[in-house]
């Protein structure tokens, strides 16, 4: 069966410090991968998605970047964090069925920038 791992689960970082959140998917090949952000009490905002190694699409201009160095690895990064980067970050992959794509989420990473 497929599983998705995301880490770290919680992170407190000072303003201006770098960020690296990692996500790996097991049990599937060539998945579409996603990074979402959820501000407190809000819906999910799609940040990046990737359809293959080295292929990254950005949905919103921001202080973050994403990379996909391997088929089942997706990394969210920042060189210098801002206070506004605080939030709940969710990695996800999708499984295709005849009905459409279903998104499977990791457990999320809580980022607090202080």
Partner 1 sequence: SQQGEEDPQALSIQEGENATMNCSYKTSINNLQWYRQNSGRGLVHLILIRSNEREKHSGRLRVTLDTSKKSSSLLITASRAADTASYFCATALNTGFQKLVFGTGTRLLVSP
**Applying CB under 8 A, which residues contact partner 1?**
6, 32, 34, 36, 42-44, 46, 49, 51, 59, 88, 90, 94, 97, 99-108, 110
Round to whole Å and give the CA distance between 114 and 104: 30
Round to whole Å and give the CA distance between 96 and 78: 30
Give SS3 for 109: strand
CB of residue 103 vs partner 1: minimum separation in angstroms? Answer: 6
Residue 65 CB burial class (10 angstroms; 0-12, 13-18, ≥19): middle
Residue 91 CB burial class (10 angstroms; 0-12, 13-18, ≥19): buried
- For partner 1, which is the closer residue by CB, 14 or 100? 100
CB of residue 82 vs partner 1: minimum separation in angstroms? Answer: 22
- For partner 1, which is the closer residue by CB, 16 or 52? 52
- For partner 1, which is the closer residue by CB, 49 or 74? 49
- For partner 1, which is the closer residue by CB, 57 or 77? 57
């Amino acid at each position: 069966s497929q599983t998705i791992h995301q880490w770290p689960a919680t992170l407190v970082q000072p303003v201006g410090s770098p960020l690296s959140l990692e996500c790996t998917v097991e049990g599937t090949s060539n998945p579409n991968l996603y990074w979402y952000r959820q501000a407190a009490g809000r819906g999910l905002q799609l940040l990046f998605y990737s359809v293959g190694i080295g292929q990254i699409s950005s949905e919103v201009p921001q202080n973050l970047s994403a990379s996909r160095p391997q088929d089942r690895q997706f990394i969210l990064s920042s060189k210098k964090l801002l206070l506004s980067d605080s939030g709940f970050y969710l990695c996800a992959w999708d499984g295709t069925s005849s009905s459409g794509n279903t998104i499977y989420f990791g457990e999320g990473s809580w980022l607090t920038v202080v």
